[in-house]
Amino acid sequence: MYKLKKTSIAAILLISIAASQSFAQTAKKTKAPAAPVKKTAAVPAKAASAPNVLKNKMDSLSAAIGVSFSNSLSSQGIDNINADVLTQTVKAALKGEKTAFGPEEANKFIGEYFQKMMEEKGATVRIEGEKFLEENKKKEGVVTTESGLQYQVIKMGEGPKPAATDKVKTHYHGTLTNGTIFDSSVQRGEPVEFPVNGVIKGWTEALQLMPVGSKWKLFIPYQLAYGERAAGPQIPGYSALVFEVELLEIVK
């Protein structure tokens, strides 16, 4: 709901080559939990033992970097890395030997790779959102404005309408188009105050149409929400959003 600053993800991809780099923000991919280890009456389950190679602090640091590196790859949806090429490149880089990429070339390639990956994933999310909104606008009671914002009146209030420069108090419940909840003041049991012109475009437009005391359901295309960028781990880039918004008062 609030405007978020664009951020970059530290590229742990390069940490084992001695430096952190930044590239375009990617949406996080949640890993399924590992299957539980089965136990029998005769033999208790044992966790897999780690290789006994940690003889000093540098060994431990190397192992820790390996874990962080692997987790970073997994969280970004990369599970088919060529470990042999990676290992050879790390060894060569640490020795100062020639590698396939120079530092600037490597950064450029990484940035372009993740940008393309984001665009491909974004295209899927964008198409799903557009299909949802296209079907939704046909439903009874749904109004579509010139900007593409869609709303449905649950309750129409009788108070004044706020201006863009006003501060308002609202209750809201936000979901993706598939029903996944990403934020809800209703669930927290605490309404929120903010300036009308300090939120996403879809909210700014809708609030100025709502008399105080109204409760509307908003269907917001990605252009009027967070656009091409993700907003935290729960809202991918290009996401259409759905909100139930209750305008409680104009804060004086």
Residues marked as catalytic: 172, 182-183, 200, 226, 243
- Three-state DSSP at 127 gives helix
Ranges of H-type helices in the chain: 57-75, 83-94, 103-136, 185-188, 201-207
Cβ-proximal residues to 234 (8 Å cutoff; 6+ apart), any chain: 176, 180, 182
In angstroms, the CA 86 to CA 67 distance is 15
For the chain, the distance separating the N- and C-terminal CA atoms, rounded to the nearest angstrom, is 22
Nearest CA among 241, 238, 207, 209 for reference residue 136: 241
